[in-house]
Structure 1
């Protein structure tokens, strides 16, 4: 065996022994049941890997737990590199190579078993401009193709946003699959939700797995099945009350009396269930939407004015925008005996603002901004929080749970028992780490915003663990 690999194996064994002795880390593994029981972890190296677009190391953690040795990593974000090196590059004698910018790499300077990486996702993300392969970041796939073709690893795992798998990006996905196939690989891909692998986060990501077509059983890879482990938010976030309140079910016509069921209803927000979170927004409505006029003292007439603007602001008859200011002359026929001072009283309360020559609109007119710095408050017994993002969210978790039988008083109970009593906490960067499956011992950035950005960009650790575990059964 080459001396370099022997040395790396020795360092890996010492590192893993140290990890096993750390009680906090062992508890983290036990919580998610991601890995083998601690006393049966095999620390001998089984394979080598390269960490492309390495970020802060979401791929590396599970691969090392499976016995992998990282021979090199590539990243250009300076802040991410700092955190990566703080956690993984233990001394200056480390033989691991920093590969620099992938665009300057023609081939890897060593033979490798596995290449992994989270290729920049913005080109196919709803949060981006959806430019696909026309986006300079989308063109990084060309660098991936070159490295795979020239280095010929046994296998690879690449991750990207769910948008790459959606119909609008069908041509781009086919382009990627065809190029990787032409390089000599059997390709399989699947959209996987982090919730299915022990994390209370609704996070869909596409994973592309390739196995070199000259290997035995190269067609034998199958994506792992869901763990069927239902972890709730309170199981991961400390300092909040745990409860087993079931979701209440009601006929949709009770939850949506106007007959308009939001298009966003899905796996975690079924049309016949009360939400286990509350959204703060003046421009939307729903049985758990909190409006600013419900949080401060307002008269029945003022509430009627706000509801009227909410119902009519998106009607094309009042303008081409997806949310138009409404003039007093427009509101007057819609609200009996409306007086100008009644509308202006809502301006004084900072609920409405007058846009010159256009009319009145809500001050809190962006869902991302929420109200008073709050976008959503999740109840601690919620199944899953929304997808963590690099741009961050103004999401909070209630520190107590509430149960309510009647939808018409559910919102009011939340306002009285949780919001007005300040029974909620902001999600911290450390909470982000937990929601992504990073171990408690992981060293995060000192700046809270930077750390949240990095975890929002990261891959979910347990998902990679189970994908790679299934892959290793074939290539090792």
Structure 2
């Protein structure tokens, strides 16, 4: 399987004047190592890992299978970061994806009140004790949100006081050769005693942009010329704010969302899939458009009573609502109140939450908690807003011309090499890839950082065709 933007990842040769380890290789410690996304990128740059820290047994098994030689290896797991003190030898770079759950919605955004959030205290302690030349730490973009900005400012201030120039930026995986809209904050620090520390700049986005079909096996590879529309033609008077870079207000979406509690020109409802009359569709849409209004209750989505609906729909009868209950579109939540059976966005409809088309620029952020997302195996060339959704239902959904995103697909969408040995269980492998760092982002960021730290140039990647090749590259010694 080849991926777009294949390039050879060139190593950094520090040369005889480098004050790193013998042979011109820089050294690094891999904290919160997971399955080794940081390590792949840094080893491709010519780095030597002196040790890693991970506590999850399943992640350790995958990490060791890919990186640790069973014979003659002196490298071991440093264990829980809470127990790491002064390292036995000096190290050039310390990196890690600090647990992100305390700053994300999935983790209930408890910040430093979450024990996992307090692991930042150990990160700062390890930096203070070992004084690496530089560091890179990755986290979710939620750490930059206003409610967590004091925590971020505290982290930056504490690291700066240890003698480092500290800066941070959101980097998106799509900008570095992956068809995935994945924003992550990267916090970078360089010792201020390094003369060129102030010259550091985050890497610029790559010119080449991938498509989803470049990373997914078994789908049609086809470029669709998309028409531009006045937003009012697609959304009427309710033009949504653009959510993510792959959803534009003047183009037909390249994905279809399956939900009864959301609406849009590519939202598929259960009443679109079942045989329903225009009157039944009107009733469902009325409930959809009013369920979030506060006059009907304090919840984000409220069941509506027959009396509520009767005031919104002329000549409504209870029998009409019961017919929708029989079709399993509606149900009675409380006595006399109606809501949709499919009331959770994440659950989708019939086990499908979203189907992206293979010609799409990319997919949304992969997650460790799992997704009910699928990929169409064929493209859809329709550019008529009036028939677009129905053509999708008739030509892709009903014939079953879509596939789940496999664990290997997850790996490709995160930039892991084909030869990477993932966990045997699909669900575990998807979780691990979804929780990993995007390899090309670390590669380009690491290259920019190391050029400043060691005052040398690194050869630019060599492009030669389709796909990303992360084949091992031996450093120049």
Which residues of 2 match residues 201-220 of structure 1 at below 5 A? 201-220=180-199
- C-alpha contact (below 8 Å) 1:119/1:140 kept by paired residues: yes
1:148 aligns with 2:127: yes
Deviations, residues 74-99 of structure 1 (Å, cap 9, x unaligned): 01111100100011112142011210
**What does the per-residue CA deviation read over 1:137-181, in whole Å, with 9 as the maximum and x for residues that have no partner?**
111011000100110111111100111122222111110011111
Secondary structure of 2:106's counterpart equals coil
Q: SS where residue 155 of structure 2 aligns?
A: helix
Q: CA deviation at 1:263?
A: 3.8
String of CA shifts for 1:316-375, please: whole Å, max 9, x gaps.
111111111111122123222222222111111111111232511001001100001111
Bigger mean CA offset, 151-160 vs 43-52 = 43-52
Cα shift at 1:34: 6.0
Q: Does residue 35 in structure 1 map to residue 14 in structure 2?
A: no
Q: Kindly state the Cα deviation for residue 45 of structure 1 after the two structures are TM-superposed.
A: 5.2
1:382-422 Cα deviation digits (max 9, x unpaired): 11100001101100000000122221111011001100111
- Give 2:33's match in structure 1, choosing from 49, 54, 59: 54
**What corresponds to 1:352 in structure 2?**
330
Q: 1:403 aligns with which of 357, 381, 404?
A: 381
Work out whether residues 224 and 381 of structure 2, in 8 Å CA contact, stay in contact via their aligned partners in 1. Answer: yes
Runs of 4+ residues deviating >6 angstroms: none
**Counterparts of 2:347 and 2:331 in 1: how far apart (Å)?**
16
- Residue 310 of structure 2 is aligned to residue 332 of structure 1: yes
The CA distance in 1 between the partners of 2:111 and 2:141, in whole Å, is 13
Structure 2: where are the runs of 5+ without partners? 16-21, 455-477
CA–CA distance in structure 1, aligned partners of residues 348 and 253 of structure 2: 17
Q: RCO greater where, 1 or 2, for CA within 8 Å and sep 6 or more?
A: 2
SS at match of 1:402: coil
Q: Which residue is 1:235 aligned to?
A: 214
| Pick aligned residue for 2:144 from 154, 161, 165 | 165
- Which residues of structure 1 form unaligned runs of 5+? 1-23
Cα distance in 1 for partners of 2:156, 2:357 equals 41
CA contact (8 A) 1:265 1:271 kept: no
TM-score (norm. length: structure 2):
0.91
* Alignment-derived partner of residue 96 in structure 1: 75
Is the 8 Å Cα contact of residues 5 and 210 (structure 2) preserved in structure 1? no
Local SS of the residue matching 2:274: coil
Deviation, structure 1 residue 247: 2.9
Is residue 2:379 matched to residue 1:379? no
1:194 to 164, 173, 185: 173
Q: Distance in 1 between matches of 2:86 and 2:336?
A: 59
- Tell me the equivalent position of 1:282: 260
Q: Which of 433, 448, 464 matches 1:455?
A: 433
Q: Which residue in 1 is equivalent to 2:468?
A: none
Give the secondary structure class of the aligned counterpart of 2:184. strand
CA-based RMSD: 1.8
Q: Indicate conservation of the 8 Å contact 2:253/2:266, yes or no.
A: yes
Q: Which residue is equivalent to 2:86? A: 107
In the alignment, is the contact (CA less than 8 A) between 2:357 and 2:379 conserved in 1?
yes
Length, aligned pairs only: 446
Say which SS state the counterpart of residue 96 (structure 2) adopts.
Answer: strand
Residue 184 of structure 1 pairs with residue 158 of structure 2 = no
* Distance change >3 Å, CA 350–CA 44, structure 1 → 2: farther
Q: Is the 8 A contact 2:37 2:436 kept in 1?
A: yes
Counterpart check, 1:307 vs 2:285 = yes
- Greater helix fraction, Structure 1 or Structure 2: 1
**For residues 295-314 of structure 1, what are the alpha-carbon distances to aligned partners after superposition, in whole Å with 9 as ceiling and x for unaligned?**
11111111111111111111
**Residues 266-275 or 303-312, more deviating:** 266-275
Distance 2:339 2:69 in 1: 55
Q: How does 1:366-445 map to 2 (within 5 A)?
A: 366-445=344-423
Q: Is the 8 A contact 1:34 1:465 kept in 2?
A: no
Pair 1:468-2:443 in alignment: no
From 424, 428, 431, the equivalent of 1:446 is 424
User: Structure 1's 295 and 464: CA in aligned 2 closer, same or farther, altered over 3 A?
Assistant: same
- The Cα of 1:44 is off from its aligned counterpart by 5.9
* C-alpha contact (below 8 Å) 2:10/2:45 kept by paired residues: no
CA shift, 1:54, in A, is 0.1
Please state whether the residue corresponding to 1:180 is helix, strand or coil: helix
Name the CA distance, whole Å, in 2 between partners of 1:280 and 1:251. 24
